[in-house]
Every structure is written in C-alpha cells, then in structure tokens.
Structure 1
Amino acid sequence: MTDDTRLVPPPRELDLASHAFFLDFDGTLAPIVDHPDAVKLAPETAELVQRLADACDGGVAIVTGRALASVRPHLGPLSLVVSGSHGHEIHWPDGPETEAAQAAELDAAFAALDGFASDRGLRIERKPGAVALHYRNAEHHGADARAAVEAAVAGDPDLRAIHGNMVSEAALARAGKGVAVRELLKSAPFRSKTPIMVGDDVTDEDGFRAAADLGGFGLRIGRASTDAAYQVETMDDFFGWLDGLLPPADGKSGSGQEH
C-alpha cells in the first residue's frame, strides 16, 4: 500500500470465535512513552482486550518486540500468550516462569554497539533475541544509529537489522513477528483460526504479511506505507472498532468506555 491509502476500518462483521488476534503492545495497546518502563496500559484497555479474548475463546496474543521481562509487568490483569523479542520468546499463561537465554549470535553486535551507545548517551538494551539502540530522546542520532546497526549485522547471515519507531535493532534473522504468528497458529487456542495482526510500526509489517498469507489480514494504526489490508488513524479508532465488534459488556450496547 502507498502513503495515500485511504484509511478504512476492516469489516465489523467477523465471527470472532473463528479468528485469532495478534496485538502489538507499544503504540497499539498503550501509548508510546520516552522510557519503556514508564508505559501504562489503561484499565479500560485491559478490559477491552479481555473481552476480545473471551469472544475469541482465548485466541488473543501479545506479539511485541519487547523482551518478555519488559512487557509482562505492564499487562496488568491480562493472562494471555505473549511473544517477545520479535518472536524469539513465547510465554504461555499456564507455562513455567522461564525466559529465553540471550542468543550468543548477538554477542558481537552488542560489543560493537555498546561503545557507540555510550559515546552518544543512547540507551542500549540487550534482549534475548535482539540488541536495541533507543534514540527517542536523541533523535539527531537516529541516522547514525540506523547505520551502526546495519554495520553490526553486515555479513552475518544469522542477524538482520530492524528499524522501528525511534529504535534500531540487531535481531536474529530467524525471528520476526510473522514467525511468531505462524508458530502460534500451530497450537490451541489459535489453531485453525483466521489471523488478524494489529500494529503501528514497520516492525509489524512481517506480521501483517503472515496474517494475509494465512487467509487473514493486517490492521495498521497510523498513516504510513504498509502491507496491512486496513488502516485506522489512531489507537482510539482501533479501540472503537474493536469495541463495536464485541458483544455488549454487562448487557449494554458497547462498553461505554472512552479511550
């Protein structure tokens, strides 16, 4: 799709029990903030997602570039499948409290990027499946950060560069949100369901493509060139669309909540 794509909501007439939703976190369920630890999932958003999970017979997962350790403390009462580090980590609600070990393939990239980050006062994050350079508070370093990540992965077939919203990452080539979507669809409660991937960033694009390849669709939040079949302008537009899909809460028409 191109930048002049008309923003349109996906169809509201969906048999939710036959669909599975894969939801990005930052910029999709919670507003993007300057520091990842300061993110807040609004209680009404958590309630909306729980209603969706109930309607989909549990077929809702969080699929994020964050490490599991970085996202799970912010999910509040939600007990969902969570895929972290661009698909490298997956946690099941009834599974053990374990996290993936840091991939040794990333050691050299971390060593190369650590000094770059230190010299420029950037935040570097070592995830199990990626090394992330954050430059939200130093946008003037964005082009250099992207170039540094590209250089760190150059010539290494096990790694690839992922550039997102004010972050660039050296990530495992075998990981990705599309990989996560495909892997989760092999198991209950996602098996045999039609996938819907929702996100707001370029890091969600392979998830959109995977959903389309498997008979579903992607929904991207915000104006951007995208492979998603549908776009909406804002998070609130997405919440409103989602609320309209769901059975009334407490016997009322819609949730009556504002986002």
Structure 2
Amino acid sequence: MRKKLLLLDFDGTLAPLAKTPQAVRLGRKIKKRLDVLSRSKNCIVVVVSGRSLKDLKSYFHSRRIIYIGNHGLELSGRGLRLPRGAQRARRRAHFVRLLARKLGSVFYFWEGVSVEDKGYTASLHFRNLRPDRLPVFSELVHFYRKKYERWPVVWRRGKKVWEIRPSDAWDKGDAALHLVRKFPGALAIAVGDDKTDEDMFRALRKKAVTVRVGRWRKSRAEYYLRSQKDVVEFLERCR
C-alpha cells in the first residue's frame, strides 16, 4: 500500500470554527482518529495552521504528528529542520510584532475585534464585530494597510480575520511543498477550508490530491467536502 502524507489545516478543517480562537475545541473522535493514523506505518500526519506552534500542539498529545505553525514559519516533528526560506522570513517578523502593537492600540476599545500576536505572524480577528460596524472597520484597515505599505509585511484576508505575515515569499504552500519533497513517493493529500489554504492547493498542483472543505468556485482545489463534519468521515476512510 502506498504511504499517504496527510496535510491537514486545523481551524475549520480538523476543528469547527468558534467565536474566538480560544473557544475552538478539537472533537474527541477526530483526535483519536489522528492518533491512530499517526501510529500507522502507512500514514504521515501533518497539521498545518496559522496558529503558533505552542498553541497548535496544546490540542494534541501525539509526538508522531508533524506540526507546521504560523503559516509555515514554524516546524516541529520527526527531526525536521526549518527550511532556509522560512528562516529568512522570520528575520522580518519584528515588523509584524510592531504592527500588531499599533493595531492593538487602534482597536483596543472595539467590541468584537481582537489582535493576536503569534510571534512570527499576527491576526486581526473581527468575527464578533457587529455588522453595522463593518464599513468603518474596513475603512480603518484600508487606512493602516496604506499607511504601512512600505513595511515588509503582507495582509491576507481570511474568514472574519486578517492575517499579517512577513512579506518574504514563504507561506503554507511553501511549507507543504517542502514536506512533499521530504517524503518522495508518498501520496500527498492536502485538506483546508480558508484562503490561506489556497496557497497549499496552488503549490501542490499536480503534486497532491487537494481537497477544500466547503465549496468555493474560485478554489484551486480539485475536490471538496461539504462541511467540516465530513472531514471525520474522510479520515475514517484513510488507511
């Protein structure tokens, strides 16, 4: 049987989305299934996330899983070392931290908005923002993107979140491609639900089976699952 390399996003894929990142819970069934797959000689399990490595690992107890955090800027598991491209990008992370502090001050009194500094990247969450406040919020985001456009950072819109990363060309796609090359011969399967996961689908075109959770006509994924609940069934079928 051909070995499988499972590249799995966390929020919205392995775990259902919640009002805040801290409120997200990983289901017992899917957690157990990932543990079983990680013990199998036929599977290599990789969790790919925008969360920090420390935060991501807190949801799991398996040392056999490979973890990619901060959109590819952190890597842990199986003795793997962080690629040079990611190391270069990390050198500019102080610009992200400075911007996170500035945005934290700007939106400090905004109900439903929070700034998360993850060390190498940052997130501007607005999932709980009142709809009538969205136009003003969007104007402010546009203003600060313009104000700091010369800074070496990239803003990426996700599901009710703005992801802010160092501008060096390194993302989830580069990290996923790095692992595909580390495990030649394995059948790579990438699963994700958000726009940052499209980086994976783009980088792994013709190199992996790509699956989007939830339909989106602009997606680069070849296949799709209807919802996050279908991910459990998908993993149950993996052997």
TM-score (norm 1): 0.76
Q: Distance in 2 between matches of 1:111 and 1:142?
A: 21
Q: Distance in 1 between matches of 2:41 and 2:106?
A: 45
State the one-letter code of the partner of 1:127: K
Q: Distance in 1 between matches of 2:72 and 2:130?
A: 27
Matched, 1:38 2:32: no
How many correspondences in the alignment?
225
Q: Distance in 2 between matches of 1:143 and 1:40?
A: 31
Q: What's 1:209 paired with? A: 202
Matched, 1:119 2:109: yes
Cα 1:45/1:220, change in 2 over 3 Å: same
Q: Distance in 2 between matches of 1:131 and 1:57?
A: 35
The Cα offsets for residues 149-180 of structure 1, whole Å up to 9 and x where unpaired, read as 45544433632111111211221223311011
- 8 Å contact from structure 1 (residues 160, 172) kept in 2: yes
- 8 Å contact from structure 1 (residues 50, 78) kept in 2: no
Query: Which residue of 25, 46, 66 corresponds with 1:61?
Result: 46
Q: What's 2:84 paired with? A: none
Q: Distance in 2 between matches of 1:150 and 1:180?
A: 29
Matched, 1:164 2:164: no
Give the secondary-structure state (helix, strand or coil) at the position aligned to 2:189.
strand
Cα 1:110/1:236, change in 2 over 3 Å: closer
Cα 1:95/1:192, change in 2 over 3 Å: closer
The Cα offsets for residues 115-139 of structure 1, whole Å up to 9 and x where unpaired, read as 2221313211111222211112115
Query: Which residue of 39, 55, 71 corresponds with 1:86?
Result: 71
Q: Distance in 2 between matches of 1:245 and 1:76?
A: 20
Q: What's 1:184 paired with? A: 179
Cα 1:85/1:55, change in 2 over 3 Å: same
Matched, 1:20 2:33: no
Unaligned runs of 5+ in 2: 82-89
- 8 Å contact from structure 1 (residues 22, 63) kept in 2: yes
Aligned-CA RMSD value: 2.7
- 8 Å contact from structure 2 (residues 63, 77) kept in 1: no
State the one-letter code of the partner of 2:230: D
Identity of aligned residues (%): 26
Q: Distance in 1 between matches of 2:67 and 2:156?
A: 20
Query: Which residue of 226, 237, 241 corresponds with 2:230?
Result: 237
Give the secondary-structure state (helix, strand or coil) at the position aligned to 1:45.
helix
State the one-letter code of the partner of 2:202: R
Cα 1:144/1:221, change in 2 over 3 Å: farther
Cα 1:245/1:131, change in 2 over 3 Å: closer
Q: Distance in 2 between matches of 1:136 and 1:85?
A: 20
Q: Distance in 2 between matches of 1:25 and 1:112?
A: 28
Q: Distance in 2 between matches of 1:130 and 1:144?
A: 24
Q: What's 2:59 paired with? A: 74
Q: What's 2:87 paired with? A: none
Give the secondary-structure state (helix, strand or coil) at the position aligned to 2:15.
coil
Give the secondary-structure state (helix, strand or coil) at the position aligned to 1:50.
helix
Cα 1:172/1:143, change in 2 over 3 Å: farther
Unaligned runs of 5+ in 1: 1-14, 247-259
- 8 Å contact from structure 1 (residues 149, 168) kept in 2: no
Give the secondary-structure state (helix, strand or coil) at the position aligned to 2:178.
helix
- 8 Å contact from structure 1 (residues 106, 130) kept in 2: yes
TM-score (norm 2): 0.81
Q: What's 1:130 paired with? A: 121
Cα 1:203/1:151, change in 2 over 3 Å: farther
